[in-house]
Chains A and B, each alone.
Chain A
Amino acid sequence: MAAQNEEGDPAYSLRQIVKRFPGVVANDHVNFDVRKGEIHALLGENGAGKSTLMQILYGQYGRDSGDILVDGQVCALDSTRDAIRLGIGMIHQEFMLVRRFSVVENVIMGIGDDKRWTVDLKKAADRLRELSLQHGLHVEPDDIVEQLPIGVQQRVEILKLLYRNARLLILDEPTAVLTPQETAGLFVVLRHLASMGHSIVIVTHKLHEIMEISDRVTIMRDGRVVGAVKTALSCKDELARLMVGRDVSLRAEKAPRQPGKPLLQLEGLSALDARGARALNAVALTVHEGEILGVAGVDGNGQSELAGAIMNLASITGGRVLFDGEDVTRLSPAAHHELGLAYVPADRRHVGSLGELPIHRNAILGRHRQFASACGLMEEPKIGQFADALIERFGIRPKRPDYLAGRLSGGNLQKLILGREVMRDPRAIVIEQPTRGLDVGAIEVVWRELIAQRDAGKAILLISAELEEIFNLADRIAVIYEGRIMGIVKTSEATIEQIGLMMAGEAHPANSGAPQ
Chain B
Amino acid sequence: MKGFSVERRLMPVDTSLSLALITLLSVVAALVIGGVLMMPFGANPFLAYWQLFEAGFATWRGFGFTLVKAAPLIMVGLATICAWRTGFAYLGFEGCLLIGAAAATWTAMQALPGAVLEGVPFFMFLPMVIAVSMLSGAIWSGIVGYFKSRFGGNEVITSLMMNYVAIFLVQYLVSGPLRAKGDLPVSPRLPENTWLPYLFDGSRAHLGIVMALVATLLVWVLLLKSRVGYELIVTGLNPKAARYGGINVGTRQLLASFLAGGLAAMAGTVDILGVHHRLVDGLAEGTGFVGIVVALLGKLNPIGCVIAAILYAGLTVGADAMQRQAGLPASVIFIVQSLIILFVLASDILRYYRISRVGPAKTTPVEVSG
Residues of A within 8 A of B365 (CB): 20-22, 64
Known: A22-B367, A407-B11. A369 touches B227 (CB 8 A): yes
B42 at the interface (CB under 8 A from A): no
Task: Please give me the residue from chain B that is nearest to A357 by CB atom.
Answer: B237
Query: Are A361 and B230 within 8 A (Cβ)?
Result: yes
What is the minimal beta-carbon distance from B320 to any residue of chain A, in angstroms? 40
A226 at the interface (CB under 8 A from B): no
Query: Are B243 and A333 within 8 A (Cβ)?
Result: yes
Contact flags (1/0) for A335-371 with B, using CB distance below 8 Å? Answer: 1110000010101001111101100010011101101
What is the minimal beta-carbon distance from A495 to any residue of chain B, in angstroms? 36
B364 at the interface (CB under 8 A from A): yes
Known: A62-B359, A64-B363, A350-B240. A333 touches B246 (CB 8 A): yes
B360 at the interface (CB under 8 A from A): yes
Bound together, the chains give a CA A410 to CA B42 distance in angstroms of 60
> At the interface with chain B, which of A91-99, A288-296, A372-380, A480-488?
A372-380
Q: In the complex, which residues 325-370 of chain B have their Cβ closer than 8 Å to any Cβ of chain A?
A: 354, 356-365, 367
B41 at the interface (CB under 8 A from A): no
Could you say which interface size class chain B belongs to? 35 or more
What is the minimal beta-carbon distance from A16 to any residue of chain B, in angstroms? 10
A78 at the interface (CB under 8 A from B): yes
**Which residue of the partner chain, among B1, B234, B248, contacts A76 with CB atoms under 8 Å?**
B1
Contact flags (1/0) for B8-43 with A, using CB distance below 8 Å? Answer: 001100000000000000000000000000000000
Query: Are A378 and B226 within 8 A (Cβ)?
Result: yes
Residues of A within 8 A of B248 (CB): 332
**Which residue of the partner chain, among B237, B247, B356, B367, contacts A356 with CB atoms under 8 Å?**
B237
**Which residue of the partner chain, among A62, A78, A378, contacts B230 with CB atoms under 8 Å?**
A378
Query: Are B241 and A378 within 8 A (Cβ)?
Result: no
Known: A332-B246, A377-B227, A378-B226. A354 touches B241 (CB 8 A): yes
Bound together, the chains give a CA A357 to CA B85 distance in angstroms of 13
**Which residue of the partner chain, among B10, B226, B227, B244, contacts A313 with CB atoms under 8 Å?**
B244
Residues of B within 8 A of A134 (CB): none
Residues of B within 8 A of A371 (CB): 227
Q: In the complex, which residues 19-77 of chain A have their Cβ closer than 8 Å to any Cβ of chain B?
A: 20-22, 61-67, 76
Query: Are B227 and A354 within 8 A (Cβ)?
Result: no
B228 at the interface (CB under 8 A from A): yes
Query: Are B5 and A62 within 8 A (Cβ)?
Result: yes
What is the minimal beta-carbon distance from A463 to any residue of chain B, in angstroms? 15
Known: A20-B364, A334-B246, A366-B245. A351 touches B240 (CB 8 A): yes
Task: Please give me the residue from chain A that is nearest to B228 by CB atom.
Answer: A376
Known: A21-B365, A62-B356, A407-B11. A313 touches B243 (CB 8 A): yes
Task: Please give me the residue from chain A that is nearest to B365 by CB atom.
Answer: A20
Contact flags (1/0) for B220-249 with A, using CB distance below 8 Å? Answer: 010001111011011001101101111110
**Which residue of the partner chain, among A20, A21, A335, A353, contacts B241 with CB atoms under 8 Å?**
A353
Bound together, the chains give a CA A364 to CA B240 distance in angstroms of 16
Bound together, the chains give a CA A155 to CA B332 distance in angstroms of 55
Known: A333-B243, A352-B244, A366-B246. A65 touches B360 (CB 8 A): yes
User: How many residue pairs, one in A and one in B, have C-beta atoms under 8 Å apart?
Assistant: 97
Known: A61-B7, A62-B5, A78-B358. A351 touches B234 (CB 8 A): no
Query: Are A345 and B244 within 8 A (Cβ)?
Result: yes
Bound together, the chains give a CA A304 to CA B67 distance in angstroms of 54
Bound together, the chains give a CA A351 to CA B244 distance in angstroms of 7
Bound together, the chains give a CA A20 to CA B7 distance in angstroms of 12
Contact flags (1/0) for A123-159 with B, using CB distance below 8 Å? Answer: 0000000000000000000000000000000000000
Could you say which interface size class chain A belongs to? 35 or more
What is the minimal beta-carbon distance from A286 to any residue of chain B, in angstroms? 24
Bound together, the chains give a CA A334 to CA B240 distance in angstroms of 14
**Which residue of the partner chain, among B10, B226, B238, contacts A372 with CB atoms under 8 Å?**
B226
Contact flags (1/0) for A314-336 with B, using CB distance below 8 Å? Answer: 00000000000000000011111
Query: Are B1 and A78 within 8 A (Cβ)?
Result: yes
What is the minimal beta-carbon distance from A14 to any residue of chain B, in angstroms? 13
Bound together, the chains give a CA A447 to CA B19 distance in angstroms of 41
Contact flags (1/0) for B235-279 with A, using CB distance below 8 Å? Answer: 001101101111110000000000000000000000000000000
What is the minimal beta-carbon distance from B352 to any residue of chain A, in angstroms? 14
Residues of B within 8 A of A364 (CB): 230
Residues of B within 8 A of A378 (CB): 225-227, 230
What is the minimal beta-carbon distance from A262 to any residue of chain B, in angstroms? 25
Residues of B within 8 A of A311 (CB): 244
Query: Are B241 and A365 within 8 A (Cβ)?
Result: yes
Q: Which of A311, A357, A371, A380 has the most chain B CB within a 10 Å cutoff? A: A357
What is the minimal beta-carbon distance from B219 to any residue of chain A, in angstroms? 14
Bound together, the chains give a CA A406 to CA B247 distance in angstroms of 21
What is the minimal beta-carbon distance from B225 to any residue of chain A, in angstroms? 6
Bound together, the chains give a CA A380 to CA B234 distance in angstroms of 17
Query: Are A66 and B360 within 8 A (Cβ)?
Result: yes
Residues of A within 8 A of B233 (CB): 357
Known: A62-B5, A64-B365, A368-B231. A350 touches B238 (CB 8 A): yes
What is the minimal beta-carbon distance from A380 to any residue of chain B, in angstroms? 8
What is the minimal beta-carbon distance from A218 to any residue of chain B, in angstroms? 22
Query: Are B227 and A376 within 8 A (Cβ)?
Result: yes
Task: Please give me the residue from chain B that is nearest to A311 by CB atom.
Answer: B244
Q: Which of A64, A65, A337 has the most chain B CB within a 10 Å cutoff? A: A64
Bound together, the chains give a CA A167 to CA B16 distance in angstroms of 46
Bound together, the chains give a CA A348 to CA B368 distance in angstroms of 32
Residues of B within 8 A of A64 (CB): 358, 360-365
Residues of A within 8 A of B241 (CB): 350-354, 365
Bound together, the chains give a CA A333 to CA B358 distance in angstroms of 52
What is the minimal beta-carbon distance from A349 to any residue of chain B, in angstroms? 10
What is the minimal beta-carbon distance from A261 to any residue of chain B, in angstroms? 26
What is the minimal beta-carbon distance from B357 to any residue of chain A, in angstroms? 8
Bound together, the chains give a CA A406 to CA B361 distance in angstroms of 34
Residues of B within 8 A of A63 (CB): 358, 360
What is the minimal beta-carbon distance from B66 to any residue of chain A, in angstroms? 33
Residues of B within 8 A of A78 (CB): 1, 358
The 4 closest A-B CB pairs, nearest first, are A62-B358, A334-B246, A372-B227, A366-B245
Given A64-B361, A352-B244, 20 extra CB contacts under 8 A: A22-B365, A61-B7, A62-B358, A63-B360, A65-B360, A65-B362, A78-B358, A333-B245, A334-B247, A335-B246, A337-B246, A350-B238, A353-B241, A354-B241, A361-B230, A366-B245, A368-B227, A369-B227, A377-B221, A378-B227
Q: Can you name 9 A-B residue pairings with CB atoms under 8 Å?
A: A20-B364, A22-B367, A62-B5, A62-B357, A64-B363, A333-B244, A333-B246, A352-B244, A377-B221
B interface residues, Cβ below 8 angstroms from A: 1, 5, 7, 10-11, 221, 225-228, 230-231, 233-234, 237-238, 240-241, 243-248, 354, 356-365, 367
